[in-house]
Structure formats: structure tokens, C-alpha cells
């Protein structure tokens, strides 16, 4: 709605938005009635709760609804307790569990596995710095969510080559992958680049994976023709040979144009 004052036009918030903000400001008074709200109101309130980090294990189940498509928990305090309560949500496509401020120890493999079973059509899953997530969770997620196309497990330091093997085997639509600060090795990258996602993979961030060598870079650039972004900064075993391999690939007739390449010179 627009209003005019002294010749100036400015927008006024809608009554709907004002009502949603009012619920957020006095959330404790409305928390028990959240589950009774229409989906349209839940969507607006959920958006504001997400942006302000107000979603908890206790109110999560009350604010979600069956046709929800995106769930942002990145700055909220949600743990396994909340994820284990998720009902079947066939329309949910994206879950953001990234931890921005500090490592999150409250979400473990049990929570991720339960979520993957409840949300089988997930396409985008972010869970950066969820430090208690293991290969078992990635394996089950890959099996239960076959449409996965964006996956961020950067900083999940317990993950090993077994996760890459699972992604290569089951995630045929995978386009973007962040595995920075994990325990993966050249063998895991080899399994990924020879896996079922090799022909569609466009972005890989493997920064700070200290066990990787030039073989990992060469495997990706040779086997993944759609690769456009490759980040391998702070990988001390990767040498000048990788830069040379990249240049040779780009100069060949089969070379592709990269949008971003990042590495550290040692």
C-alpha cells in the first residue's frame, strides 16, 4: 500500500505483515496457537522466525506445514530433538542447517537420517559446520533423497571418502558440493568424479582438505566436463602441477570456461 504526504510517496506495510510481526514480537503468547494458523500465515511467521533465529526444537513442529518448500534453520537453535519430530514433508525442497557463528554439536547423524526419511524430495541441503555428522548420515541422505543437487557439508570434519563414494553412487543430479575442511582423500575424489554425478557436477569446494594432492584436481577436471567452479585453497599437498593441468585443459579443444578457481601457493 502506498501513501502520499507532502508530495512524497512511500510504502506502508500491509495489515498482513503487521499482524505477522505482532505475533513475532509476542511469540510466547501465540506459541501454543501456531499450529492452528492457516498455512499462509504460518509461512509469513516462519519466515520472520527464521530471520531472527526464533525457531526451536519445541516450536518447530508447530510452525511447519505439509506444503512447506524451504526451511531455514541456519541461525536458530534446532538440534536432533527437533529434527526427529519432523513429519512426512513431501514438498520440502531445501533445508538450511548451516552454522554461521560457531560449530554446531546439537545436530548429529541421527537427526540428519531422520530428516532425510521425512523429506524424501530434498534437493538442497546445507549443513556446514555440523561437527557431529558422520558418513552414515551422508549415505542415508543420498539414498533417501535421490534428487539432491546442492550439498554443503563444509566443516563437517568427521566425513571421509565414504561420503564421496555415496554421493558418486546415489546422487545422480548433484551439481554443487562443498566438502571443505573434511578428511577426504584423492581416492574419495576419484570415486566422486567417476560416479553418476560426474556429467552434471559444476561446482566443488574442497578447500582446507589437507590430504588432497594434484591427483584430486586432475581427476575432477578430466572427468567432470561441466565443472565451472573449483576451489582448493589451503591444500598444502596440491602443487604447481595442478595449475599447469588446469591451463592445459582450458587451452585444449575440449576445454571449458571456468567461472572461479581458487588455490594457495606454497
pLDDT of residue 33: 73
Length of the chain: 266
pLDDT of residue 32: 74
CB 133 within 8 A of CB 159: yes
Q: How do beta strands 70-72 and 104-108 pair? A: unpaired
Taking only the tens place, the pLDDT of each residue in 115-147 is 999 999 999 999 999 999 999 999 999 999 999
pLDDT of residue 244: 85
The Cα–Cα gap between 126 and 72 comes to 9
Give ∠ CA 187-191-192 in degrees, rounded to 5.
Answer: 115
pLDDT of residue 256: 62
Taking only the tens place, the pLDDT of each residue in 225-261 is 999 999 999 999 999 888 888 887 777 656 567 888 8
Nine-digit cell string for 134? 558422520
The Cα-based distances of 143 to 93, 112, 157, 202, 255 in angstroms read: 16, 12, 21, 21, 33
Q: Provide the b/e sequence for 9-33 (b: ≥16 CB within 10 Å).
A: eeeeeeeeeeebeebbeeeeebbee
pLDDT of residue 30: 60
pLDDT of residue 83: 98
Residue with the three cell numbers 571443505: 180
Residue 43, CB-side half-sphere exposure with 13 Å CA sphere:
10
Residue with the three cell numbers 578457481: 261
DSSP 102: S
pLDDT of residue 2: 45
The Cα-based distances of 163 to 158, 171, 187, 223 in angstroms read: 10, 11, 11, 19
CB 69 within 8 A of CB 43: no
Nine-digit cell string for 60? 518447530
Residue of 158, 85, 148, 155 lying closest to 115 (CA atoms): 85
DSSP-based three-state secondary structure for 117: helix
CB 114 within 8 A of CB 87: no
pLDDT of residue 44: 87
pLDDT of residue 37: 79
Kindly give the parts of the chain with pLDDT less than 70. 1-31, 252-256, 265-266
CB 120 within 8 A of CB 90: yes
245 Cβ contact partners less than 8 Å away, ≥ 6 residues apart: 214, 217, 218, 221
DSSP-based three-state secondary structure for 188: helix
pLDDT of residue 20: 65
The Cα–Cα gap between 19 and 61 comes to 21
Amino acid at each position: 500500500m502506498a501513501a502520499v504526504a507532502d508530495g512524497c510517496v512511500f510504502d506502508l506495510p500491509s495489515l498482513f505483515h503487521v499482524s505477522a510481526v505482532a505475533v513475532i514480537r509476542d511469540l510466547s503468547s501465540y506459541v501454543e496457537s501456531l499450529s492452528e494458523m492457516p498455512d499462509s500465515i504460518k509461512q509469513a511467521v516462519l519466515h520472520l522466525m527464521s530471520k531472527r533465529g526464533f525457531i526451536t526444537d519445541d516450536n518447530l513442529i508447530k510452525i511447519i506445514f505439509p506444503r512447506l518448500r524451504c526451511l531455514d534453520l541456519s541461525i536458530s537453535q534446532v538440534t536432533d530433538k527437533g529434527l526427529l519430530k519432523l513429519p512426512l514433508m513431501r514438498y520440502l525442497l531445501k533445508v538450511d542447517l548451516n552454522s554461521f557463528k560457531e560449530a554446531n554439536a546439537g545436530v548429529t547423524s541421527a537427526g540428519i537420517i531422520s530428516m532425510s526419511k521425512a523429506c524424501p524430495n530434498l534437493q538442497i541441503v546445507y549443513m556446514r559446520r555440523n561437527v557431529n555428522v558422520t558418513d552414515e548420515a551422508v549415505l542415508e541422505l543420498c539414498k533417501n533423497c535421490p534428487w539432491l543437487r546442492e550439498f554443503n557439508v563444509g566443516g563437517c570434519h568427521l566425513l571421509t571418502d565414504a561420503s564421496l563414494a555415496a554421493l558418486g553412487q546415489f546422487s545422480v543430479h548433484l551439481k554443487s558440493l562443498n566438502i571443505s575442511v573434511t578428511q577426504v582423500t584423492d581416492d574419495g575424489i576419484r570415486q566422486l568424479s567417476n560416479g553418476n554425478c560426474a556429467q552434471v557436477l559444476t561446482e566443488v569446494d574442497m578447500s582446507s582438505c589437507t590430504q588432497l594432492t594434484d591427483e584430486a584436481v586432475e581427476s575432477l577436471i578430466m572427468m567432470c566436463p561441466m565443472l565451472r567452479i573449483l576451489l582448493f585453497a589451503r591444500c598444502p599437498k596440491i602443487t604447481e602441477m595442478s595449475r599447469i593441468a588446469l591451463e592445459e585443459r582450458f587451452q585444449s579443444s575440449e576445454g571449458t570456461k571456468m567461472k572461479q578457481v581458487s588455490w594457495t601457493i606454497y
